[in-house]
Amino acid sequence: MAILAAPVVLSAQLSAPAVEEAAESGRRAAEALLRGQRGPFEAVLATDAIAAGFLGDPVWSGLSQRQRERIATVIRDHFVETLEPPRGTSGEVAWSAGRPEGDAVALFLGLRYPAGTLKTRWSLVRASRDWMVRDVFLTDPGISIAGEAMRSIGRGAIRRRDPARSARAAAFPRALGLAAILVVVLAVGRRLPANGRRILFLTAAAPAVLFLVDGGLAVRRALSESYSVPEVLPPAPWRTAEREALRAQREGRLDDAARAWERAVAAGAPAAPADYQMGLALAAAGRKEEARAAFLRALTRSPAAPGASKELALAALAQGNSAEARNRLETYVAEAGPDPDSLSALAVAQANVGESERAIESVEQARVLMADRWKGVRLQSQVYARAGNAAKTVETLRLLESEGGLDRESLRSDPAYVPIATDPAWVAFLSETPAAARTPTP
């Protein structure tokens, strides 16, 4: 996959090769996870930095290794469950683009699953000699996976405690158990013959040893842990309502979905992704005005859902409002990063408002990202046509012709080429016979 270098000045610490190296590291981790191999991904996930950033360094360093590992497991599981393909399937990296972002590298990855492509932004930082994944953002809804993982744990779940008091609390029930065993042995043992007492002592020894060992471990753990962390971390309070909302959307019960999203937000779920999800569902159901209102709400939230700008732009483009589409798509690409579809739509909008050179720049960027080269070249030819440049349109289409033939009849009926319909170069190109055209390459 190609890496798109953004037009920004690289810092001394992040040269172009460093950005390339970071992007390659993140891409390998993503590809492994999409193949169902979570090990390589977990190896480069900066769980310590994620947890310390949320809880604070004093709290994180004050936890025992056992407690840190429990929280790290929650973080790793949340990332994997969010990004891995459905069971029995696999995915692939559809496109990638890397650029420096302060002391980090922002890697934009299109993750292709059987159900569609997910646009993500990976934040990578250097740790010693390796590049580590500090966070992965679902760019369109505006969700930080690291933030969601730590929000699901919650700061309130980790409390400071008095180690000595905790040790006494841990020792007390075990001491009662030992005392109860001793009372039983003394009370019953007096009435038994020597052989019976020996059997009684041996029988009582097993639970007594268990109480002693368990009590010792519990006391030792209590004295070594300054914070309490639940053995089982409960799910976030909004998860149930969130799952209900998504299920209602899939079943077409949009009013029920809206009420479930309201409950999820009231319980602590971020509001912008909820508005964005409802906007997508309403748009798919043909409720365009309600969808537009939902997308506009998603943009007013803090943080906003950048994908709402793209959806509003595509709707504007379909309605012939190319100026609004261009403005919204430029905002979207600046906030959410590049992807082939958005850049392609932006190129069309720019060409429609007469910004031919900028349209060509956008489509060139889209071509760099596209895995489907044929689609990219065809798109470029359409942008040249909208710009009225018949010579460049023909030159671009001949690239396609040299790689496998071209259907001129489909070009005649394609509205994208209407602006050059009467240009002599275009008319001559369409009039060529297969014998006059270049021989297709197998």
pLDDT digit string (tens) for 317-376? 889 899 999 999 999 999 999 998 899 889 889 988 988 889 888 888 887 887 666 666
If asked whether residues 129 and 92 sit together in one domain, one would say yes
How much of the chain exceeds pLDDT 90, in percent?
42
Strand order in the sheet with 104-113: 92-101, 104-113, 116-127, 130-138, 143-144
Read off the pLDDT of residues 235-283 as tens digits, 9 standing for 90 and up.
Answer: 788 889 999 999 999 999 999 999 999 999 999 899 999 999 999 999 9
CA distances from 114 to 1, 59, 87 (A): 20, 41, 11
Write the CATH number for 73.
3.10.450.710
pLDDT surpasses 60 at 436: no
pLDDT surpasses 70 at 177: no
Within a domain: 298 = yes
Number of helical H runs and strand E runs in the chain: 20, 7
| Angstrom distance (rounded) from CA 210 to CA 222 | 18
pLDDT of residue 175: 63
Of 421, 431, 416, 411, nearest to 390 by C-alpha is 421
If asked whether residues 146 and 49 sit together in one domain, one would say yes
In angstroms and rounded to an integer, the radius of gyration of the C-alpha atoms of the chain is: 31
Contacts of 440 (CB under 8 A, 6+ apart): 401, 402, 403, 404, 405
> For 311-316, what is the mean pLDDT?
94
Phi, psi of 418 (to 5 degrees): -60, -40
Helix (H, G, I), strand (E, B) or coil at 126: strand
| Angstrom distance (rounded) from CA 180 to CA 175 | 9
> For 413-433, what is the mean pLDDT?
85
Within a domain: 414 = no
If asked whether residues 254 and 202 sit together in one domain, one would say no
| Angstrom distance (rounded) from CA 146 to CA 103 | 18
Question: What tokens were used for 350?
Answer: 């720019």
- Chain-wide mean pLDDT for the chain? 83
Read off the pLDDT of residues 69-117 as tens digits, 9 standing for 90 and up.
Answer: 989 999 999 999 999 999 889 999 999 988 898 889 999 999 999 988 9
pLDDT of residue 324: 95
Greater model confidence, 61 or 24: 24
Domain boundary residue, one of 249, 277, 305: 305
Helix (H, G, I), strand (E, B) or coil at 141: coil
Place of tokens 């390796």: 130
Domain boundary residue, one of 305, 334, 356: 305
If asked whether residues 175 and 284 sit together in one domain, one would say no
Within a domain: 419 = no
Q: Which range among 55-64, 145-154, 219-228, 356-365 shows the weakest confidence by mean pLDDT?
A: 219-228
If asked whether residues 257 and 220 sit together in one domain, one would say no
pLDDT of residue 82: 94
- Tell me the one-letter amino acid at 207: P
User: Which residue range(s) make up the domain with 210?
Assistant: 162-224
Whole-structure pTM value: 0.75
Element (H, E) at 336: helix 322-336
pLDDT of residue 438: 45
- 320 Rama sector, left if φ>0, alpha if ψ -120 to 50, beta otherwise: left
Within a domain: 321 = no
Provide the domain count of the chain: 3
Please classify residue 255 by burial: count the beta carbons closer than 10 Å to its beta carbon, then call 0-12 exposed, 13-18 middle and 19+ buried: exposed
If asked whether residues 71 and 155 sit together in one domain, one would say yes
Of 265, 286, 287, 288, nearest to 275 by C-alpha is 265
